[in-house]
Chain A
Amino acid sequence: MNKEIILSAKDVEISFNLRGRTLKAIRKCSLDLYKGETLAIVGESGSGKSVFTKSFIGMLEANGHVTGGSIMYDGVDLAQYSKEKEWMTIRGKKIAMVMQDPMTSLDPLMPVGKQIKESIEHNQGLRGSEAKKAAIEMLKKVGIPDAEKRYSQYPHEFSGGMRQRVVIAIAVACYPEILICDEPTTALDVTIQAQILKLIRDLQKEYNMTVVYITHDLGVVANVADRVAVMYAGQIIEYGLVDEIFFDAWHPYTWELLASLPQYGEKGKPLPTIDGTPPNLFNEITGDAFAPRNKRPLEIDFVEEPPYFEISPTHKAKTWYLDPRAPKIEKPQIAKEATMKPMGKEPAVFDEKLVEIKNLQVSFGKGRRKFVAVNNVNFDIYKGETFSLVGESGSGKTTIGRAILRINSASSGEVLYKGQRISGKISKETDRHLIKNCQMVFQDPMSSLNERAKVDYIVSEGLINHKLYHDEADRKAKVDNALREVGLLPEFSSRFPHEFSGGQRQRIGIARALVMEPEFIVADEPISALDVSIRAQVLNLLNDLKKKKGLTYLFIAHDLSVVRYISDRVAVIHKGRIVELAETEELFEHPLHPYTKALLSAVPIPNPTLERQKELLVYDSAMHDYSSDLPVWEEIKPGHFVYGNQRELDHYRKELQK
């Protein structure tokens, strides 16, 4: 793999000025890009992965500056560029970028074809109808059907995945040598994500581009990368070939990052976690930035910054563990044999129904604009289980959760809680009772906490509403207790939410629900907005609480990998309808519905060997012929439900017998 280096960054330092304070976002980062290869940069939010790559094309925000180092590309030092004019010779022409959110990187008032044409005219020098032809060609190439017609449509007429394809078309239309993809699939659904990744790979081969992926998803890394750079606190702490990083990592951060993935977890056992949060880069960092979170730090980690130690010609890591003077360290074996293996132990048996959902339908709007979000859904949640609802955005999974908590009202059907109807009109008494017993944990810890209230108030809000305390001291004790229970320090109660990191905020949100001592919690994608290193903390916490307090969860997710680790039963929902429901292992071992299969095949596994062999299935709802043979919701095997017509069900039965 000794290839030509196309771009070489050396000791790059980038600082930002924020209200008179200096934030050192990048602290001496070095990186080589090889021609035709794919490099994945992994790191948590705030680790500087985006900032670092933006400096390659001069797109730092106005208050950010490259304060040191060099970025050599094509014999020129890009770090010395300061004028837009200079950047225009590189940006878009030689190095192009695909951003995270396709909606914000397209002009909503311009037909997409024109936007691609603009890029072609600007960079290839084609004009008029020739450029248009090239643009349509490009649209076809990125897999947009009906390209001629789509050419004159506007971005809002495209779905998220299609929009991202357009963005890629614009970026690739100028035949860049380097394509930087900044979390290109984070805003997309899993099945779409797999398709986009494949598209980028195909285009890379065709145009012999070098691709840089910025991502926090190690599954994506395993799927796409030739080389991996792991970033932490503004530094690349480990750099190597993908197999070296996954199977022979040396930095403790990389170890713990891999170990904390729920895909490697064993059901019923807590996940290994990384304590704490990434450091505040406003502060001066001495020694190894990871030291305070490292479970086995060396004393020198707190005193002196480690240099790079070479492990192989392609693999280096920045840790004192590799110093010859360091004590012998047992390297944890993590990803070696890690697969999507069946995860331990027989499924527990639950018999008491806590929540029953019968023919639930939820619709929004009226008349012509009526939209059915949840269509005739039936399932029960048993006391003490974790019931997962998996589906893509817009599938109605959140709406079901909110309908149970009566935030959205059911338009027909009913919801029973302990055998008592709770949808529609209910008495004040029942209402109070339900509020106390059913709580919700929200997806985005940034927006689900009131920025202007202290943690103390946020956590005790429920207590105050229901007068669940005797006196001030009792309330304080309860708050402290709830905070301690979620692994936070009681002293945090006098602080405001914005002082906390995402994971800590999410735990505050859990404490807020917990203080009510509920029986049932709807957890609406509680970890999807969190950084990888923090997800494990929250998952463990949810599992712990379930064990200690006998809680029941409705766990809403779009990510099947997490679901397998945490849930007892899983329901897969597609376009407002549940298509399959079974015990977790049953569903993962014998998926029946084609949508479930597609979803399973699309989940990126954080194991490069497996990812290379993976076959992608695509689901198209047009494959069902429900014109004469109407579909039903059928228990095809005890505990395993699937949605299909008789012909399909017969087919599924045969499949099960195999």
Chain B
Amino acid sequence: MSNDKKDLFRFAEHSIEDAERIGFSDYSYWGSVMHNFLKKKSAVFMLILFLFVVIFSHVALVIAKYDYSSLRIDYDLAFQTPNAEFWFGTDNLGRDYWCQVWYAAQISIRLSLIVVLGESILGVVIGCIWGYVRSLDRFFTELYNFISNIPTIIYMTLIAMVVGQSFTIMAVTMISIGWLGMARNVRNLVMIYRDREYNLASRCLGTPIWRVLHKNILPHLVSAIILRLAISIPSTIAQESTLSYLGLGLGIDTPSLGILLRNARTDFLNRPHLLFFPAVIVSIVTFTFYLVGNAFSDAADPKNHT
């Protein structure tokens, strides 16, 4: 060893603060979530594609040659394949398919977003109470069993026949059933976190229940809730399609992707374009939320943060 190190053999400063400082990094929760999410290229791509579809559905109606509200039935023009006049072709009644498809996409996406938002708010709130308040567990469990034992179709049929068919009715009905799954999911998760020691600590400090739920428990559920939420968007669209197919969905005059798919189904081998366009949009939405939901819930899981 060389001689110049000799002067290093003397005492150096010792700082208690520096000793405390070792071993932690800069960290922000949502920053980390975004960072992890952006690493999933496929999800980011689908999300951009989806946003493009949403925006374009508005633009498309503006640049369309026909207005949806003033479409006229003309049998001579029926079943045209896509051409310069009718960009997506025409349907069995000779109406422009372009404006129908984009209008339907708007309606379906809006419906599913509203429904999913509604059912998750309701589901999370009820699920939290269900899981945290022991004395209410029995009541909610029985309620859950009661409602979930009635087949959705019967319930929807009744509503459609008694109350009527419209966008609002449809949304409300779907929310009123949809919260069940979310609530049960949340309840099970809450029960996992309920007896953690830090909740005991909060109790010792006299923290009210709602804040224990909001601060101690909900943040741990973010990842699971997002996943559930993302998966229920495609399933809402599917459900809406089923109901529309049975004639129990939206009114006749409101097109939705479900209705378009139903109409196209009968003859799609001869006229594939009728099925193709709505199917592509449904696929994009489904894929997007599946991928984004997974990616985001992974990203939101603190276990995956470094």
Contacts and interface: CB of A to CB of B under 8 A. Distances in A.
B269 interface: no
25 contacts: A18-B306, A276-B22, A279-B22, A296-B11, A297-B12, A298-B10, A299-B10, A301-B12, A320-B9, A327-B11, A432-B206, A439-B205, A442-B201, A448-B200, A450-B198, A450-B216, A452-B219, A461-B205, A464-B211, A465-B205, A487-B16, A489-B21, A495-B27, A512-B201, A516-B205
Interface string A265-296: 00000000001111110000000000111111
Contacts of A325: 6, 9
Interface string B1-16: 0000111111110101
B205 A297 contact: no
A489 B22 CA distance: 12
Interface stretch (A126-134, A499-507, A600-608): A499-507
Interface string A633-646: 00000000000000
Interface in A407-455: 407, 431-432, 435, 438-440, 442-444, 447-453
Given A407-B200, A435-B204, A452-B220, A276 B19 contact: yes
A495 B202 CA distance: 19
The 9 closest A-B pairs by CB, nearest first: A276-B19, A452-B219, A300-B8, A275-B19, A499-B24, A435-B206, A462-B205, A280-B23, A448-B197
Contacts of B203: 407
B164 interface: no
Interface residues on B, range: 35 or more
B20 interface: yes
A275 B197 CA distance: 27
A247 interface: no
A452 B29 contact: yes
Contacts of B29: 452, 496
Interface string B59-79: 000000000000000000000
A457 interface: yes
B151 interface: no
A461 B206 CA distance: 9
Interface in A17-46: 18-19, 21
A299 B215 contact: no
Given A275-B16, A442-B200, A300 B9 contact: yes
Contacts of A440: 200-201, 204
A405 B200 CA distance: 11
Contacts of B22: 276-280, 292-293
**Most chain-B Cβ atoms within 10 A of its Cβ — which of A276, A323, A435, A466?**
A276
Given A296-B14, A299-B10, A452-B220, A488 B20 contact: yes
Nearest to B16: A275
A427 B115 CA distance: 45
Contact of A498 (B201, B202, B215, B302): B302
B23 to A, nearest CB: 4
A487 B20 CA distance: 9
Interface centre among A298, A452, A457, A496 (most CB of B within 10 A): A452
A296 B9 CA distance: 12
A303 interface: yes
A440 B197 CA distance: 11
Given A298-B9, A450-B215, A501 B23 contact: yes
B81 to A, nearest CB: 50
Interface of A: 18-19, 21, 275-280, 291-304, 320, 323, 325-327, 405, 407, 431-432, 435, 438-440, 442-444, 447-453, 457, 461-462, 464-466, 487-489, 495-496, 498-501, 504, 509, 512-513, 516
Nearest to B24: A499
Interface string B72-91: 00000000000000000000
Contacts of B215: 450, 453, 457, 461
B11 A298 contact: yes
B196 interface: yes
Nearest to B199: A450
A299 B12 contact: yes
B149 interface: no
Contacts of B21: 276, 489
Of B24, B29, B219, B306, which is in contact with the most chain A CB atoms at under 10 Å from its CB? B24
Contacts of A512: 201, 205
Most buried by A among B8, B20, B219: B20
Contacts of A504: 20
B206 A407 contact: no
A279 B18 CA distance: 11
Contacts of A443: 197
Given A19-B306, A461-B202, A466-B206, A302 B20 contact: no
Nearest to A496: B27
Contacts of B206: 431-432, 435, 462, 465-466
Given A19-B304, A276-B19, A448 B198 contact: yes
A298 B202 contact: no
Given A292-B18, A300-B9, A448-B197, 14 more contacts: A276-B21, A277-B19, A280-B24, A298-B12, A299-B7, A299-B11, A407-B204, A435-B206, A439-B204, A440-B201, A447-B196, A451-B220, A453-B219, A495-B27
B154 to A, nearest CB: 41
Contacts of B24: 280, 495, 499-500
A281 B19 CA distance: 15
Nearest to A447: B197
A452 B217 CA distance: 9
B14 A297 contact: yes
B19, B29, B196, B203, most chain A CB atoms within 10 A: B19
B265 to A, nearest CB: 46
B282 to A, nearest CB: 35
A275 B20 contact: yes
Given A297-B14, A447-B198, A276 B20 contact: yes
